[in-house]
């Protein structure tokens, strides 16, 4: 069973540029653009004993949109999981063809909600393959109307840090993720998705320091 | 002399208090032995002489009577008198000696008067009053000392409270030897990381690594840091970034807390909480300074190692300058960031002017940075610190793990030496890949049917993109297609990819349907799925990409032509169709990366077996211009239609 380690946080849009500079420095890799249409599907009553939820992700940054289906399982529970500062959960992901949506509809899934995430991402190797995405989440007034999308939280963007893991190595991956998150602490506080922590009060000062060219050191 | 001798000596009636017990009971020396003593003293006095004297007086009287009778010796009486006098004198001397030896000789008996009840009361009253007075004084004394003690305890509580709060984040040590000083309890804060000071790792402990904790005048914790001894690391591009601190207002802002560094005033009024926070950020500044020193120290040592990615061009105290690839020059300097940096700053600025002589104003720097493809300075300053941090602490961790199976120093040095090199190569790569990206984007922008996708490489020294082209679907229904390969796989591609991978400063292009050696020869087919890989440099990249794309288009058209059963062949970037025997018409691609309108233009070239009959070259060539893929496809279909109608039709073109 493949797993993933996740932490999330929010940042004000005005500080995103500073975050990008910081991430660029921490990761050392080139930034990737991010434009993903996310469709959340929920199984109908006649499918299985419990209702299930799948996400169809459509990468719009490609010349031809590519589709991914993703099932996010429940978070790991127990005392061990509580001690880890990142959320560890089961996750299955697969590339699918563009017919996937029609297939899921035919299976009896219903569209629950859809989102459009626009931003950028960094993918780098540090103990694990860590991906950091900074995106603004948009909702659509009409079904699939991605051109008319409006931000859900204007002035606020979401920061996701994810890393794939297995049941053998998740503790090391979680440690790598949380140690990476500490570097972002002046700008954005990252925590398990269920715990909302709000914006960091020092963000403005830290961003100003990063943006000024004569600025100080940040480590 | 002959009278009764009366000696009466008594103790002075002073009763000395021997002790007061804790419950207030007074204890006097016991007077039980007083009578005994008196008796013993009395016993010591000898009254025998007095009796003898009387006897002798009687004898004298007898003798006188006899003297009268016998007038013996004239002087006898005088001798006797002298003897008596001597005797008497001896007794007196004895007595005086006795008295001298015992001042409390009492001869006369004395009965102590029994005090009256009112006298007892008054005595009691006096002693009680005295005692009360004594207690009052004692009370005042206790009150004063309690107050002083409380003050002292409060001061200590503030001090230790602050110390304990600092201990949560910092390593507090106590040295007894230092504790002799009154204002110092011997506490120090150790900012060094012991794992880094392994003798084999070669890090020098900084002078700031141990900070003494003192009491200030108010008894509060005070740390003793020389204000002008901190450093911060500066990194920049020579000639583009000012060496000095261009933004003085940001000097004292700590990026994590945003607090100003505490000044010496207002300390008293500041609440303890705020004060601890200030101390905390002060310690943090120092900690960062130590880190910067270590980093610079390590860079300095690495500068002497061989590296492929950098070339040291200037080295001074707290300053180093190096040139890396892609025409970029870096400087790394330790910049004093304490209270009084202005003097040192101007020194370092003049140093730079001397060393490079080409400091340019920062204005327009951003634009020039972008133009040169230099990435954000701050990002790379962070990256430098980041890789050092990861290296230093990652290595420290590894050392702990493999302490028992300690690898030889050689391997450690190897892992050490690559750091500056890796940093310079990463930066060079970023600059280079930015330039590559500019070229790719300019090509993709001008050719409307091309798309550019970037790929994550997870590596700071590798970048990867794909130039992507989707061709319009064939008008021939798939079911009737002749080009069904035996395994059922459709032989027509709808997408073509050209992958560009940049590793350090090497570009490799990997493309489908490339004009390889076989393709250069005249051939009637091309393998749509062949992949060719080769390297090129950045100047050639746009042409290479355009040639790839043109070649892919030719391949596609060739396959389409063959799908409908037309005889066609390709030659590099041209597609030839035989219209009638001996006469061919070719679609030739012309690539020009400078062409603002579309880079790839198409020519129609007619050739026949007897070209000499034709009047001029101009008639045999016709520029079709920048065609979209759809138009190109319909041109092909038109040409195929012509194949059936023959030469006359062709001439109408």
ipTM reported for the complex surpasses 0.85 = no
Q: Taking CB atoms and an 8 Å limit, are B245 and A213 in contact across chains?
A: no
Query: Is B520 touching A (CB cutoff 8 A)?
Result: no
- pLDDT band for position B487 (50/70/90)? very low
Question: Tell me: the pLDDT tens digits for A15-72?
Answer: 999 999 999 888 888 888 999 999 999 887 766 777 788 999 999 988 788 999 999 8
In the prediction, which pLDDT does B644 show?
66
Pick among A15, A22, A29, A30 to test the B interface (most B CBs inside 10 A): A30
In the prediction, which pLDDT does A6 show?
94
In the numeric block, the tokens 């790719």 are attached to B440
Q: What percent of chain B clears pLDDT 70, i.e. is strictly above it?
A: 66
Q: Which residues pair with B536 in a beta bridge?
A: B507
In the prediction, which pLDDT does B515 show?
55
pLDDT at residue B340 tops 60? no
In the prediction, which pLDDT does B184 show?
61
Question: Tell me: the pLDDT tens digits for B498-557?
Answer: 899 998 888 988 887 765 544 444 444 555 556 677 778 888 888 888 888 888 888 888
In the prediction, which pLDDT does B355 show?
43
pLDDT at residue B109 tops 70? no
- Per-residue tokens: B325: 């690839």
In the numeric block, the tokens 């506080």 are attached to A189
Q: Where are chain B's structural domains?
A: 32-111, 171-429, 447-652
Pick among A172, A207, A214 to test the B interface (most B CBs inside 10 A): A214
Which one, of B352, B334, B324, lies nearest residue B298 by Cα? B334
In the prediction, which pLDDT does A165 show?
92
- pLDDT band for position B11 (50/70/90)? low
Environment class of A60 (CB within 10 Å of its CB; exposed 0-12, middle 13-18, buried 19+): middle
Q: What share of chain A is helix, strand, coil (3-state, %, to 5)?
A: 25, 45, 30
Question: Tell me: the pLDDT tens digits for A103-151?
Answer: 999 988 889 999 999 999 999 988 889 999 999 999 998 888 888 999 9
Q: Which residues pair with A56 in a beta bridge?
A: A39, A69
- Per-residue tokens: B433: 């890949």
Chain B residues lying within 8 Å of A202, measured CB to CB: 256-258
Contact B575, B568 (CB under 8 A): yes
Number of helical H runs and strand E runs in chain A: 5, 9
Q: Rounded distance, CA B564 to CA B640, Å?
A: 9
In the prediction, which pLDDT does B106 show?
58
In chain B, what is the straight-line distance between the N-terminal and C-terminal CA atoms, in Å?
183
In the prediction, which pLDDT does B53 show?
78
The residue ranking higher by pLDDT, B19 or B80, is B80
Crossing angle of helices B272-303 and B409-446, rounded to 10°: 90
**CATH architecture assignment, domain A1-212:** Beta Barrel (2.40)
Q: Taking CB atoms and an 8 Å limit, are B451 and A30 in contact across chains?
A: no
Q: Rounded distance, CA B488 to CA B169, Å?
A: 68
Q: Where are chain A's structural domains?
A: 1-212
Q: Rounded distance, CA A194 to CA A6, Å?
A: 11
Q: Taking CB atoms and an 8 Å limit, are B430 and A32 in contact across chains?
A: no
Tell me how far CA of residue B529 lies from CA of B324, B495, B518, in angstroms: 40, 11, 14
Question: Tell me: the pLDDT tens digits for B303-330?
Answer: 887 777 888 888 888 888 888 888 888 8
Which one, of B305, B334, B310, lies nearest residue B322 by Cα? B310
Tell me how far CA of residue A64 lies from CA of A61, B280, B469, B515, in angstroms: 8, 53, 10, 26
**Chain B residue nearest residue A31, CA to CA:** B456
Q: Which of A30, A63, A212 sits opposite B470 (nearest CB)?
A: A63
The residue ranking higher by pLDDT, B562 or B244, is B562
- Per-residue tokens: A34: 């991010």
In the prediction, which pLDDT does B363 show?
45
What does the pLDDT average to over B637-648? Answer: 70
The residue ranking higher by pLDDT, B158 or B113, is B158
pLDDT at residue A88 tops 50? yes
- Per-residue tokens: B573: 């970037």
pTM value is: 0.69
Residues recorded for chain A: 219
Q: Taking CB atoms and an 8 Å limit, are A217 and B378 in contact across chains?
A: no
């Amino acid at each position: 069973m493949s797993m993933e380690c996740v932490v999330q946080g929010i940042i004000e849009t005005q500080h995103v540029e500073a975050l990008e500079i910081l991430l660029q420095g921490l990761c050392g890799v080139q930034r990737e653009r991010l434009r993903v249409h996310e469709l959340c599907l929920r199984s109908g009553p006649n499918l299985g004993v419990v209702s299930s939820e799948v996400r169809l992700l459509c990468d719009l940054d490609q010349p031809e949109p590519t589709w991914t289906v993703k099932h996010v399982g429940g978070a790991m529970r127990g005392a061990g999981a509580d001690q880890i500062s990142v959320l560890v959960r089961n996750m299955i992901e697969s590339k699918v063809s563009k017919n996937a949506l029609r297939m899921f509809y035919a299976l009896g899934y219903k569209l629950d909600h859809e989102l459009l995430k626009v931003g950028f991402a960094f993918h780098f190797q540090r103990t694990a393959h860590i991906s950091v995405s900074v995106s603004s989440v948009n909702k659509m007034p009409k079904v699939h109307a991605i051109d008319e999308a409006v931000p859900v939280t204007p002035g606020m963007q979401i920061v996701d840090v994810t890393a794939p893991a297995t049941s053998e190595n998740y503790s090391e991956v979680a440690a790598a993720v949380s140690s990476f998150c500490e570097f972002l602490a002046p700008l954005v506080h990252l925590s398990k998705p269920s715990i909302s922590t709000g914006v960091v009060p020092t963000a403005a000062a830290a961003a100003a320091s990063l943006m000024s060219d004569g600025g100080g050191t940040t480590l | 002399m002959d009278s009764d001798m009366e000696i009466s000596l008594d103790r002075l009636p002073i009763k000395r208090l021997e002790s007061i017990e804790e419950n207030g009971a007074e204890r006097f020396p016991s007077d039980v032995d007083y009578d005994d003593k008196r008796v013993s003293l009395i016993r010591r006095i000898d009254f025998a002489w007095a009796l003898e004297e009387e006897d002798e007086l009687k004898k004298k009287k007898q003798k006188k009577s006899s003297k009268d009778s016998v007038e013996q010796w004239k002087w006898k009486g005088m001798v006797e008198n002298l003897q008596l006098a001597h005797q008497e004198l001896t007794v007196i001397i004895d007595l005086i000696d006795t008295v001298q030896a015992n001042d409390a000789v009492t001869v006369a008996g004395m009965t102590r008067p029994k005090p009256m009840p009112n006298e007892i009361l008054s005595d009691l009253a006096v002693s009680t009053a005295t005692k009360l007075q004594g207690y009052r004084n004692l009370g005042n004394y206790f009150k004063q000392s309690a107050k002083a003690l409380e003050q002292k305890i409060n001061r200590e509580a503030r001090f230790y409270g602050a110390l304990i709060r600092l201990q949560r984040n910092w390593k507090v040590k106590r040295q007894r030897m230092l504790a002799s000083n009154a204002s110092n309890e011997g506490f120090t804060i150790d900012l060094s990381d012991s794992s880094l000071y392994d003798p084999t790792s070669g890090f020098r402990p900084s002078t700031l690594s141990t900070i003494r904790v003192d009491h200030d005048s108010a008894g509060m914790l005070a740390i003793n840091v020389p204000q002008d001894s901190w450093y911060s690391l500066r990194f920049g591009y020579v000639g583009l970034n000012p060496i000095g601190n261009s933004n003085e207002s940001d000097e004292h802002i700590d990026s994590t807390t945003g607090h100003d560094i505490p000044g010496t005033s207002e300390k008293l009024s500041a609440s303890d909480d705020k004060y601890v926070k200030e101390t905390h950020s002060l310690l943090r500044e120092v900690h960062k300074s130590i880190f910067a020193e270590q980093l610079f120290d390590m860079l300095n040592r690495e500068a002497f190692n061989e590296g492929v990615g950098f070339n040291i061009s200037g080295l001074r105290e707290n300053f180093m300058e190096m040139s890396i690839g892609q025409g970029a020059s870096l400087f790394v300097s330790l910049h004093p960031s304490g209270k009084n940096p202005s003097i040192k700053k101007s020194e370092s600025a003049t140093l730079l002017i001397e060393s490079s002589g080409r400091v340019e104003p920062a204005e327009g720097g951003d634009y020039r940075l972008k133009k040169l493809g230099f990435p954000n300075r701050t990002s790379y300053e962070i990256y430098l610190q980041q890789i050092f941090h990861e290296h230093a602490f990652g290595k420290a961790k590894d050392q702990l793990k493999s302490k028992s199976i300690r690898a030889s120093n050689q391997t450690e040095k190897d892992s050490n030496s690559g750091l500056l090199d890796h940093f310079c190569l990463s930066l060079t790569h970023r600059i280079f890949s930015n330039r590559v990206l500019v070229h790719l984007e300019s090509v993709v922008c001008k050719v409307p049917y091309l798309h550019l996708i970037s790929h994550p490489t997870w590596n700071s020294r590798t970048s990867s993109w794909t130039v992507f082209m989707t061709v319009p679907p064939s008008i021939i229904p798939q079911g009737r297609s002749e080009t069904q390969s035996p395994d059922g796989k459709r032989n027509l591609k709808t997408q073509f990819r050209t992958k560009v991978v940049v590793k350090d400063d090497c570009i490799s292009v990997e493309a489908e349907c490339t004009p390889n050696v076989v393709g250069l020869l005249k051939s009637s087919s091309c393998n749509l799925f062949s992949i060719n890989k080769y390297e090129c440099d950045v100047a050639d990249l746009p042409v290479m990409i355009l040639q790839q794309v043109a070649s892919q288009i030719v391949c596609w058209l060739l396959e389409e032509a063959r799908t409908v059963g037309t005889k066609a062949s390709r030659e590099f970037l041209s597609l030839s169709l035989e219209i009638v025997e001996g006469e061919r018409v070719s679609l030739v691609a012309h690539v020009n990366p400078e062409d603002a309108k579309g880079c790839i233009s198409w020519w129609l070239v007619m050739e026949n077996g007897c070209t000499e009959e034709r009047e001029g070259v101009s008639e045999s060539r016709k520029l079709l211009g920048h065609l979209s893929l759809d138009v190109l496809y319909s041109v092909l279909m038109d040409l195929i239609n012509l194949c059936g109608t023959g030469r006359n039709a062709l001439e109408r073109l």
